[in-house]
Amino acid sequence: MVNYDENLDLPVVNNGHTVELTLPHTMHMTDSDGTVYAAEQMHCHWGGNSEISGSEHTIDGIRSMMEIHIVHYNKKYGSYEEAKDKEDGLAVVAILVKVKEYDENTYYSTFISELKNIKYPGQTTTLKNINIRNLMPEDIGQYYTYPGSLTTPPCTENVKWFIFRDYVFISKVQAVTIENSVVDYNNKTIQNGYRHTQPLYNRTVEANFQYSSGECCRYPAHTKNQQESIPHGWKVKKIKKVHHH
């Protein structure tokens, strides 16, 4: 992943559904097959309150508090608009965010404190000195990947997903702020912005790390009985090294 690790001033908008950052196309990643994906935008999906979490991907049925999507397009098409309905047009990198009661994640502080300035749809502001790499988990070398669809309409089946195995943690206060800061066109607080999980059918989820079924997470879960492992519904068949750099 190239050029994510820079301090930038980036515009962010409340588009009525979520908050969305515009990313420079110089940010890009190269898949193991040589395909280059350029970054387009980043947006978030969160739930209703910290007890009802908002991530779209579940690990063993456990939803995370928030899921962040970094949307990319296949560079050979020149633009997101050209690429978005092509079979090999898009790639999304997903970051799963969990709550750790009192630990403020200072990398997220600027983003979260600016939300009050984009409370209403159509409002934009600039995130100063924001570093996208720092919004990602510490370990970006391990991830799940599978061919899927966009989680918002038109939900076309042309997205290559990359989901980091490692999590990002924010504090409860930060989570509650995100969940209550922005409203939609009906002046209703934007919450539960996720699509219900879809059946995988016969798709294969690949992991580029060694896993064992039922392996427990290396991180403390924030409620009881949250043992995180590869979901039963996922057929993780191939362990394949994918170079993400």
Nearer to Zn ion, 95 or 112 (CB): 95
The residue whose Cβ lies closest to Zn ion is 69
Helix (H) or strand (E) run with residue 232 in it: none
Q: Tell me which DSSP letter residue 197 carries.
A: P
Cα 50 to Cα 106: distance, rounded to the nearest angstrom: 19
Closest Cα to residue 230, out of 245, 216, 244?
216
Cα dihedral 32, 37, 38, 43, rounded to 10, equals -100
90 Cβ contact list (under 8 Å, min separation 6): 37, 71, 72, 73, 74, 83, 84, 150, 158, 159, 160
* Min dist. Cβ of residue 165 to Zn ion (A): 19
Closer to Zn ion by CB, 123 or 152: give it: 152
Which C-beta is closer to Zn ion: that of 63 or that of 69?
Answer: 69
17, 25, 28, 222: which one is catalytic?
17
Q: Which residues 153-212 are close enough to bind Zn ion by CB under 5 A?
A: none
The window from 25-33, 144-152, 168-176, 208-216 that contacts Zn ion (CB under 5 A) reads 144-152
- Contact track, Zn ion, 50-79, x by CB under 5 A: -------------------x----------
- Sign of the alpha-carbon dihedral angle for 201, 202, 203, 205: positive
In whole angstroms, the minimum distance from the beta carbon of 21 to Zn ion comes to 12
Number of chain residues interacting with Zn ion (CB under 5 A): 2
Residue 17 known to be catalytic: yes
Nearer to Zn ion, 92 or 100 (CB): 92
Paired with 137 in beta bridges are: none
- Number of neighbouring beta carbons within 10 Å of residue 32: 12
Binding site for Zn ion (CB under 5 A): 69, 151
User: Catalytic amino acids?
Assistant: 17
